[in-house]
Amino acid sequence: MKKILLLTILLTILALPVFSIGFGYHILEVRSEPEFANGTFPSSIKYQFNFPVPDFIGGNITELTFRLDNGLIYRSLDQDPVTGKYYSKYPELLASAGFEEGQRRDYSVQFDEFALIFSQGILKTPLSDKDLFRIEASFGGRFENAFERLFFMYNEDNTSGVFNSSYNVPRFPSEVWNAYPELAKKDDGLRSTLTTFLNCGFDINLLRDEIVKKNGIKLSAEYRYSPKSLPLSDGKADFNRLTVKLEGALTLFTIKQSNGYSWCSTVIGVDVTYRNIKGSIVPAYATSGEIFGIIPPRTEQNIYGRLYLTIFGPQIKAKDLYPFFTIFNDFALSKGRVINSQEDEVIKEYALSYGIKAELVIYNFANIFYEIGYVYKNVFNNSPYQVQAKFGITVGV
């Protein structure tokens, strides 16, 4: 209760400037989940407030923002809660937990994340309106509450879930959640957690992004420190994480219209992310590294990314109204100790998938997309997945 009260006071203090001075506000992203009418309806939203601050370095951008991200997502129970062993590598553990072959092990997570972010640009670049070099520091927190998948709430014929094998019958009577510390029950019976973190990072921007033409590279790095001793934290996180991302793109050709807009352009590119995590208590949200169709094993070191070829269609009466198609090949490598493993298991696994994504950009306000692909190299020598498809709408203001 004390931590909830402190968080309420913090959010109130941070919100006061929003109503007392001029500020900028915009929605960064509205996301959807397949459970909501096949992704038609939104399930989470990310938005931020931009506080007016003077530029500390003349000609370079200084920003102070308060970012919020909340909604509903789904996760899968891929590891044995006690030992941390992967079910896909040790299928015999499925039977001991009462899971049937092929049974979905998804559960719902309601989340709220906040961050107060300060960033400062250094040196101008002729490539874009962004600064060549940017440093950033932030303090934030994340609340999560986990429960069974939503359809169990209105399907009385199927009440078997991740936490209960049947109505009010726990699937894991010991309630030991070493592999997923955020899922351990609290005294109030909720599987909730509140953790806080400190971030610092930088990026070097040599990427010229002209909507349908992209050329150059961008390097970014972020270090996150999330000990259980930080204010407001309930102790369900104790880790540090380094993330380094490299983006590169090259425009192969472009055909212009007479009004200066583009009829067609083709861009080839690559995005690669390296992540290193150390810690004794690592919540699931801190280990995300999903590629199309699969979430790679959670290990101390991960490399994942995408090779792609994008074909942009005509800009229709405006530079920000256009269709495009992307052919991609995703890759992921998981190496090192399995996160939260109680037996210090070390693995090395990789996964590969490919697909195509069709998308329509509507005045930079909404993106409508359809994505279809196939996992052709699965982890732990398991069979590849069947063809998977996604449909969704993202909105930003």
Comparing 318 with 11, the larger pLDDT belongs to 318
pLDDT digits (tens, 9 = 90+) for 323-343: 999 999 999 999 999 999 988
> Does residue 3 surpass a pLDDT of 60?
no
What local confidence, expressed as pLDDT, does residue 40 receive?
A: 64
Distance between CA 292 and CA 287 in Å, rounded?
16
> Averaged over 160-187, what is the pLDDT?
85
Please compute the mean of the pLDDT values over residues 238-260 and round it to a whole number.
94
What pLDDT is stored for residue 23 in this prediction? 56
Q: For residue 278, what pLDDT band results from cuts at 50, 70 and 90?
A: very high
Higher model confidence: residue 150 or residue 59?
59
For the chain, the average pLDDT equals: 86
DSSP code of 286? G
Q: What is the pLDDT of residue 260?
A: 83
As a whole number, mean pLDDT of residues 264-286 equals 96
Give the mean model confidence (pLDDT) for residues 214-221. 96
Strands 131-148 and 164-166: unpaired
Q: Would you tell me how many other CB atoms lie within 10 Å of the CB of residue 77? A: 22
Q: Using 50, 70 and 90 to split pLDDT, how confident is the model at 102?
A: confident
Radius of gyration of the chain measured on its C-alpha atoms: 22
Q: Can you give the pLDDT at residue 13?
A: 43
Distance CA 134, CA 143 (A): 29
> Lowest-pLDDT range, 120-129, 224-233, 328-337?
120-129
Would you state the structure tokens that stand for residue 120, as one six-digit string? Answer: 């400062």
pLDDT for the residue numbered 24: 67
* CATH number of the domain bearing residue 24: 2.40.160
Name the more confident of 320 and 384: 320
Could you list the residue range(s) of the whole structural domain that residue 341 is in? 2-395
Q: What pLDDT, in 10s, does the model give residues 194-209? A: 999 999 999 999 999 8
Number of domains in the chain: 1
**pLDDT for res 375:** 92
Which of 323, 294, 293 is closest to 311 using CA atoms?
323
Of 6-20, 82-96, 150-164, the least confident:
6-20
**Phi and psi at residue 380, to the nearest 5°:** 55, 30
Specify the pLDDT at position 290.
Answer: 82
Q: Cα–Cα distance between 346 and 83 in angstroms, integer?
A: 13
Confidence of residue 158 (pLDDT cuts 50, 70, 90): low
